[in-house]
Every structure is written in structure tokens, then in C-alpha cells.
């Protein structure tokens, strides 16, 4: 389960620690451990990004991941939302992971597994159904979810791009 550190910072972003992994390297004196952290950052208004950090201790790994996420959120666009849900069904793919995102009625909540849930909460989506096929690697799930959210288009945007009325 992800650790929610969603107190909004001075910059207005909420952050969620999705996964902390321990890696062991066997050396002459025994085992040397290092840690990897996967963090999702969002403003709950449609902007979301992830960061990945590695260090010999957990807190520096989380700090590096947060710094990476804050740098990458500047390069990302805003997710097109319809109220507190998404405008249409979409599929996000990354590696062997496939995440299906389906809009839901108000009051449904976020029906999602770990990794996908943190991305949707950081984005500000409150009513959605999801299904994961393939690999459940948290890094791939986070990337697939963000990729699926970035492909969303509103009705007005589709009308403008096609030059027709729907």
C-alpha cells in the first residue's frame, strides 16, 4: 500500500510514495543494501508526473524521486477531465502492462489497484473504474496509467481537431 504524504507543499503539489524496493549486493563483508523509491506527484487539477530515485538509505531515495518528479511535471501537459472523472474510455500501454481506464458515475470512487490508484488520486480523478492486464510491475503500471491519461480528449477538442460538430 502506498504511503500518502499528500500534505500539500508550498508549491501546491501532493506526493504519494508508490513503492520502495530494497536491493542487496553481496560483497566481501556481507550484503550491502540500497533502496529504490517510486513517487507520484500531482496538483489534483490534472497535472501528474512520476519520479524514480535510488540511494543507500530510504529518505534520500524518496527525496531524489520527488526531485525527479517535480522536474518532469514541468514538461508534461494537463490531463483532460470531465468533472471528477474522465471524458471517455482509454487504454494505456507501457512494456507488458496494459491499463484500461473507464469513466464512472459520481459517487463510484477510485476502483484501482496499487500504482494506478496513486496516479489517479494525484491527478484529481475521483470517479473511475480500472483494469490491469499483463505485468503488474509498479513502474510500468504508473507509466502506462500516465500514458493513458495523456491520450484523453474532450468533446470540444475533438470537434476542433476534426472540424466537425458532434
% of the chain beyond a pLDDT of 70: 94
**How many domains would you assign to the chain?**
2
Looking at the fold, whether 95 and 50 belong to one and the same domain comes out as no
Q: What is the pLDDT of residue 69?
A: 94
Looking at the fold, whether 122 and 66 belong to one and the same domain comes out as no
Q: What is the pTM of this model?
A: 0.87
* Mean pLDDT (the chain, rounded): 90
- The string of pLDDT tens digits covering residues 122-145 is 999 999 999 999 999 999 999 999
Q: How many CB atoms lie within 10 A of CB 51?
A: 22
Q: What CATH number should be reported for the domain holding residue 158? A: 3.30.230.10
The domain of 10 spans: 3-73
Rg (CA), the chain: 17
Three-state secondary-structure class, residue 141: helix
Strands (E), 60-163: 90-94, 97-103, 110-111, 128-134
Residues 6 or more apart whose Cβ sits within 8 Å of residue 107: 127
Mark which of 47, 73, 99 sits at the end of a domain.
73
What are φ and ψ of residue 93, in 5° steps? -125, 140
Looking at the fold, whether 39 and 97 belong to one and the same domain comes out as no
The answer to whether residue 81 sits within a structural domain is no
Amino acid at each position: 500500500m502506498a504511503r500518502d504524504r499528500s500534505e500539500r507543499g508550498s508549491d501546491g503539489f501532493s506526493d504519494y510514495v508508490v513503492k520502495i524496493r530494497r536491493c542487496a549486493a553481496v560483497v566481501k563483508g556481507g550484503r550491502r543494501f540500497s533502496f529504490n523509491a517510486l513517487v507520484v506527484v500531482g496538483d489534483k487539477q490534472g497535472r501528474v508526473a512520476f519520479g524514480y530515485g535510488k540511494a543507500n538509505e530510504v529518505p534520500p531515495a524518496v527525496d531524489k524521486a520527488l526531485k525527479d518528479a517535480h522536474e518532469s511535471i514541468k514538461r508534461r501537459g494537463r490531463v483532460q477531465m470531465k468533472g471528477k472523472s474522465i471524458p471517455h474510455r482509454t487504454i494505456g500501454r507501457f512494456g507488458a502492462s496494459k491499463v484500461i481506464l473507464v469513466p464512472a458515475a459520481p459517487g463510484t470512487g477510485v476502483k484501482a489497484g496499487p500504482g494506478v490508484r496513486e496516479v489517479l488520486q494525484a491527478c484529481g480523478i475521483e470517479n473511475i473504474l480500472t483494469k490491469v492486464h499483463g505485468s503488474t510491475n509498479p513502474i510500468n503500471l504508473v507509466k502506462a496509467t500516465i500514458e493513458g491519461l495523456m491520450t484523453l480528449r474532450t468533446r470540444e477538442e475533438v470537434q476542433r481537431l476534426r472540424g466537425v460538430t458532434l
